[in-house]
Structure 1
Amino acid sequence: MTLGFTLGELFSGPGGMALGAHLAARETGTALKHGWANDYDESTVATYIANIPGATEESVICRDVRSLEIDSLPHIDGFAFGFPCNDYSLVGENRGLKGEFGPLFSYGVRVLERHQPEWFVAENVSGLRTSNGGDDFKLILDAISNAGPGYKITPHLYRFEDYGVPQRRHRIIVVGVRDDVPVDFRVPAPTHPDRAHWTSAAEALAGIPTYASNHEATRQSPTVVRRLELIDPGENAFNAKRMTEELRLNVKGATLSQIYKRLHPDRPSYTITGSGGGGTHGYHWAEPRALTNRERARLQTFPDEFKFIGRKENVRRQVGMAVPPRGAFHIFRALFRSFQGVQYSSVPANLSVSGTPLAPLQDVDA
């Protein structure tokens, strides 16, 4: 008998989580059906509809989650939600649950309460673990584990470069299985467990085909070009050894190491972000320019056939805010194998169900 689930998703973004789930379903022989999804941005919703199997204008709802009629959504067996991370990021004010976006996880809890899916996968930034001294994370874990009939949860800080993503991107993923379901999820073992096995930026960006969309170059000002020419691979605007006083940035209190940081071709990229002004767009190691959106998508492991819809800056935000499909694939594959009773290589979770580290963590995105 084929294992099958209908998937619902809040804060779906362009579909990185969903794509990873569908790829994992295909490999494991799981019948995964799109049920519904929600995001507040029109272009992001259009991207999801254009790329995710089964998604339609009716099933992908473009609306602020705070006005979404959760109780009237169709039944689902599985649920994914990468609730907004703005207030938990290591960069910025880190307002946590007191911020505008911090409380939005509660809408995921409402889905669990109302629809009681057999499993869920929740994603957020590594900064969630320390927000408000760790109290926010404990509150969130308590809420989702006690939602509806209750869930067995497995929180873990994933370093996606350890799973073949050519980018140092560290995210907390919480997998939950409903208490009455006799399935135990285990964290999948890394497939690229050390620096020697990591996928480099040069490998990721090689051979982009002419048919790939979203590959338009950004026009750089002469000043930016001159500045980038003085920054060596892996350096940024503040630690560049060859930087001149004329082109040195005078930004008081600047600590963001990604400002005009050029990729190193032999290492994974630093974390690709979806927001930020000049100097935060990601920069090529050999050419004095910002990365194209297709190059950013490559670093996020989106296939070249995946077409992003929207204006260039909107697409940059979509790419940067997404869950890397390859990272999601490994988690969903482990989840589906758990339901199938198939053994797979695993590692102990590094976070407890109360959110405290079970082992030393290296969780700074760089």
Structure 2
Amino acid sequence: MSNVIFSFFSGSGFLDLGFEKAGFEIVFVNEIENQFIKAYDFSRKKMGHSEPKYGYQANSIEDYLSNQDDGYLHESVRNENLAGNLVGFIGGPPCPDFSVGGKNAGRTGENGKLSRSYVECIKKYKPDWFVFENVKGLWRTKKHREFYDELKKELLESGYELNDRLINSLEFGVPQDRDRVILFGIKRELYKNIDKKFCWDSYMKYPNKSAFSYEWPDKSPFGQELEVPSTLPLELTVDYWFNKNKVNQHPNKDHHFTPRAGLAKFLVIDEGDTSKKSYKRLHRYRYSPTAAYGNNEVHLHPTKPRRISAAEAMAIQSLPSDFELPSSMTLSAMFKTIGNGVPYLFSYGIAKTIKDYLKD
């Protein structure tokens, strides 16, 4: 028996990559953005990974709920069931409608509706288990939480046992302050046969936000020499990951936006000053704020007068050093897919937790 995964809202495959490393097989990939699908395929080939068994489906998840559905998803799931495999659905519906810094349109927004579509897809195709990932606004904002609780109620009524948690990426060793809701569901008949509790923190290096307890450095004048701190977990710092991934030699090292207005603004912001809405300068010996590169949010290199590169942004997302994006991709698409992605080590930690739980 194998654990196979049908991936939705796949982006360029960060979430999938973590599950794959944990021993799951990605057999189906769904992503509506054509540039992201191409990047997913490109990166897999570069890393020597095989193409998903059922290929790449460049269409909306809502197509699988309509009368026009050609039955491909149904047939693919059925094939895996007949082969005796455990089928999992994983996906993080686009979330700006629930984000604190986003549109806040909630369930009625164009993106907000996709969370319900994903849940309807789970209810219709009945995977053995699923993962639903989203922003903390769905958990902490009252009106969005009501919607989230409604979705959970529907999934419970559809025969799933649920476990959820608000997790910060730092807990899994990602050099980034990023909160995400993870909801794990498993069919009740399978749940009854598993004689152990689902434990979220099995693979967390810094559980319960213990990473915040260190005395992290504050701001320093731009261009100043700094000593490497000896009392901090350096694996959570920007500098450690830039070196680990050899970002200066990475194929995406020169993929960064160049400002029209010149360098003046880039020379006056202190290293580590992330207090502003737009221009935030990273600190070498601290973790990054959330890798969100839209809505005029600009992240600056700690020691250079420029925006961070795609290679540096991918390091902040804890991706393997051999993960790269095609140079034909637009800069906007690069930074959008990087910012939307689930950090690799976060994904890997969740995947290993689920793998252990399903082992019996």
Q: TM-score range by the shorter chain?
A: 0.7 to 0.9
Q: One-letter code of the match for 1:151? A: Y
The DSSP-based 3-state class of the residue aligned with 2:300 is coil
Distance 1:46 1:122, change over 3 A: same
Between the aligned residues of both structures, percent identity stands at 23
Q: Does 1:55 align with 2:74?
A: no
Looking at structure 2, the residues matched to 268 and 70 of structure 1 have their Cα atoms a distance apart, in angstroms, of: 46
Distance 1:218 1:339, change over 3 A: closer
Deviation at 1:274, TM superposition (A): 4.2
Looking at structure 2, the residues matched to 288 and 211 of structure 1 have their Cα atoms a distance apart, in angstroms, of: 19
Contact 1:36 1:55 in 2 (8 A): no
Moved over 4 A (4+): none
User: Pairwise mapping of residues 1-366 of structure 1 onto structure 2 (< 5 A)?
Assistant: 4-25=2-23, 32-52=24-44, 53-56=49-52, 59-68=55-64, 69=69, 71-73=71-73, 74-75=76-77, 77-129=87-139, 130=141, 132=143, 134-147=145-158, 150-181=159-190, 182-183=193-194, 184-189=197-202, 190-192=204-206, 193-194=210-211, 195=214, 196-197=232-233, 199-206=236-243, 208=246, 212-218=250-256, 220-221=258-259, 223-236=261-274, 257-277=276-296, 280-309=297-326, 310-341=329-360
CA-to-aligned-CA distance 1:67-126 (integer Å, 9 cap, x gap): 343853111511101011011001133111021111212232233223322211110000
CA-to-aligned-CA distance 1:110-160 (integer Å, 9 cap, x gap): 33223322211110000111151621121122223333xx11111100011
Looking at structure 2, the residues matched to 134 and 209 of structure 1 have their Cα atoms a distance apart, in angstroms, of: 39
Deviation at 1:222, TM superposition (A): 7.3
Q: Which runs of 5+ in 1 are unaligned?
A: 26-31, 240-256, 342-366
Contact 2:97 2:103 in 1 (8 A): yes
Of stretches 302-311 and 280-289 in structure 1, the one that deviates more from structure 2 is 302-311
Query: Which structure features the higher share of helix residues?
Result: 2
Deviation at 1:64, TM superposition (A): 2.1
Contact 2:123 2:155 in 1 (8 A): no
CA-to-aligned-CA distance 1:212-263 (integer Å, 9 cap, x gap): 2222153534745212211111215xx6xxxxxxxxxxxxxxxxx3411100
TM-score of the pair, normalised by structure 2: 0.80
Deviation at 1:35, TM superposition (A): 1.7
Q: Which runs of 5+ in 2 are unaligned?
A: 81-86, 215-231
Distance 1:110 1:219, change over 3 A: closer
Deviation at 1:297, TM superposition (A): 0.4
Distance 1:135 1:81, change over 3 A: same
Q: One-letter code of the match for 1:282? A: H
Looking at structure 2, the residues matched to 165 and 48 of structure 1 have their Cα atoms a distance apart, in angstroms, of: 21
Corresponding residue number in structure 1 for 2:217:
none
Distance 1:70 1:114, change over 3 A: farther
TM-score of the pair, normalised by structure 1: 0.79
